[in-house]
Structure 1
Amino acid sequence: MENSPARELGLQRRLVAYKTYAAWQEVPHAVYQYEPDATEFFSEFRKLKEGFAGGSVKLSFNTLMLKAVALALKEAPILNASFKYDPEAHNGTITENPLINPGVPWILPGGGMMTLTVRDAGGGSLLDIAGQVESIRRKVEKTDFPRLFLATAKPVIPFDPGEGLSPADIEDSTVTVSNIGSICKSPGQFSLLEILPPQVFAVGISALQERPGVYTDGSGERAIGIRKILPMCLAFDHRVLDFGDLVPFISRLDKLFAEPEEIFGW
């Protein structure tokens, strides 16, 4: 049987290959698997979502998690930093970013994915973030992606995005938040994901999974029941961070999952 003819990467895959190659060439990845009980959190989300019904924007679980991650990053700003390393000098510089701009992988109309930037998720309200996500969705539908990829790779090429995405929509992200649970409901989960330099942290969110677990019931008694577990992969650049740097981030999420009513104030 003859081999299929070799073919080169398309523009979208070339862009992804360039970014991920740098990630694995430069960054020593370390990973923590975080698996909080999100049963009550998801229940409160469904109530909050009803309040958005009929409005100009929709509330998704992914949007809610962007805000949750941003608030947790406020407790651990070193995770929202940029890092420049000089291997010759064996030294580097760390700069904490003033804004929390999650880079969110997005499925494109013709297949493939691109990481798009949601800006100031830490300072914006939940409605603001949902509005940005809706705006990105509309822009994606009106984007000439081959021309956008060329403009990204070679900024000197004139590019008029019209009502579609511009290079600014894929720049300036400070942390990657990838929610595969929004596109795949199977019981699998992230075990590792790349950190895109100069970022130092990435969050991979998998689909909610029903598992037996121990919890405190309404009468304050310990009980065993079916719980909704939210697997999250927390990857960090070990040149900059140790696990202790993640503790404030995790502690803030622990508090949120234990007391999810706060989401109604977001």
Structure 2
Amino acid sequence: MRKRVIASVTQEGWKKIPHVSYVYEADVTKVYEEFKKLKASGRYRGNITFNTLLLRVIVEGIKSAMQLNAEVRYSSFLISGQMTVKDKININMPVLLPDGGMVTVNLRDMGNKSLGDMAEQIESIKEKVGSCDMEASLLKVGLKDTLRNLQRGKLGKVIGRGLGIVTGHRRSAAGTPKKKQGIILSREVLDQGTITVSNLGAAVKGTRGRVALLDIIPPQVCAIGIGVLQEEPGVYLTEDKMTRIGIRKVIPFTIAFDHRALDFGEVAPFINRLEEVFNNTEIIRTW
């Protein structure tokens, strides 16, 4: 069931969306040092990880470029469409399952949460995912999506998806040994968000490389990938504005966007805000 869902949404995205991708290489040396201080301070109740801090930085960037947090409905037949910017930042984030697979969860209203609140929500969802019955959860959400499409009059899509859900569930049930049933995740956890952020570095720690392109899941217009933290030689400015060469901590951020809805002019404020935060770490002390 999980693979069928992924295949469906990614195929739709690549058929309809003209993807553009940009890799922004961020010097996160200062932020990493600030993170260690925050971690040692005992200020937060939950487990504050560097990945959670990076997600909070990305949210700050999205606030400066809210057109990335939008959905687009476009008709190639009519050569027209509509783009709707969303007020709340609901982040779709892939999470590792106990069996090594991945599922995308919805981190809701991240734009109005503190760093500590974000960490608690992420930990809570990871605990739920770790003890859930994923096949049953996806089946439940799929059936609700089918009913929603029926209400919108999309009969062809309803028939095709309905048949796929039923036959796919029977095949997976027939070929999988019975196991103790876990909790059923709510639609709120698995529903479509407003933008996707993938922490690719967490899945391939200790490697080198950059992600060239990401899937954009319609009707979203943007997907962001956090790469692997790396140490590289680089030029930087000291506190007294002197130029130095040294070992820096660098993370590549991949930004893929729908060229029907966005161009680089809308993406630039996002990158500029990230650059500002990474170079002025006192900002994160207010989170």
TM value normalised by structure 2: 0.84
Residue 112 of structure 2 aligns to a residue whose secondary structure is: coil
Aligned residues: 252
CA contact (8 A) 2:89 2:111 kept: yes
Q: What is the distance in 2 between the residues matched to 1:170 and 1:240?
A: 25
Root-mean-square deviation (CA), in Å? Answer: 1.7
Give the letter for the 2:194 counterpart.
T
Q: What is the distance in 2 between the residues matched to 1:25 and 1:50?
A: 48
1:162 Cα shift?
Answer: 8.0
2:286 aligns with 265
After TM superposition, the structure 1 = structure 2 runs for residues 172-183 of structure 1, keeping only pairs within 5 Å, are 172-183=192-203
The structure-2 alpha-carbon separation of the partners of 1:52 and 1:174, relative to structure 1 and needing over 3 Å to count, comes to: farther
Deviations 1:42-86 (A, max 9, x none): 111121122348x64101122112211111111111110010011
CA contact (8 A) 1:136 1:165 kept: no
Give the letter for the 1:181 counterpart.
G
1:6 aligns with none
1:190 Cα shift?
Answer: 1.1
After TM superposition, the structure 1 = structure 2 runs for residues 184-263 of structure 1, keeping only pairs within 5 Å, are 184-185=204-205, 186-263=207-284
1:50 aligns with 40
Q: Which has the higher helix share?
A: 2
Deviations 1:113-164 (A, max 9, x none): 111011111111111111110110111122111111211222269xxx9855
Which is worse superposed, 239-248 or 182-191? 182-191
1:96 aligns with 85
Percent identity of paired positions between Structure 1 and Structure 2 = 42
CA contact (8 A) 1:142 1:164 kept: no
Which is worse superposed, 90-99 or 215-224? 215-224
Give the letter for the 2:204 counterpart.
C
Q: Decide which of 117, 136, 153 is 2:106's aligned counterpart.
A: 117
CA contact (8 A) 2:94 2:198 kept: yes
TM value normalised by structure 1: 0.90
* Alignment gaps of 5+ in structure 2: 148-164, 166-180
Deviations 1:187-219 (A, max 9, x none): 122111011001001101101111110001244
Give the letter for the 1:207 counterpart.
V
Q: Decide which of 5, 8, 14 is 2:4's aligned counterpart.
A: 14
Q: What is the distance in 2 between the residues matched to 1:128 and 1:170?
A: 19
After TM superposition, the structure 1 = structure 2 runs for residues 29-178 of structure 1, keeping only pairs within 5 Å, are 29-52=19-42, 56-155=45-144, 164-178=184-198
1:167 Cα shift?
Answer: 2.2
CA contact (8 A) 1:75 1:249 kept: yes
CA contact (8 A) 1:66 1:102 kept: no
Q: What is the distance in 1 between the residues matched to 2:119 and 2:38?
A: 13
CA contact (8 A) 1:52 1:59 kept: no
Q: What is the distance in 2 between the residues matched to 1:164 and 1:145?
A: 7
Give the letter for the 1:71 counterpart.
E
1:172 Cα shift?
Answer: 3.4
Give the letter for the 2:226 counterpart.
I
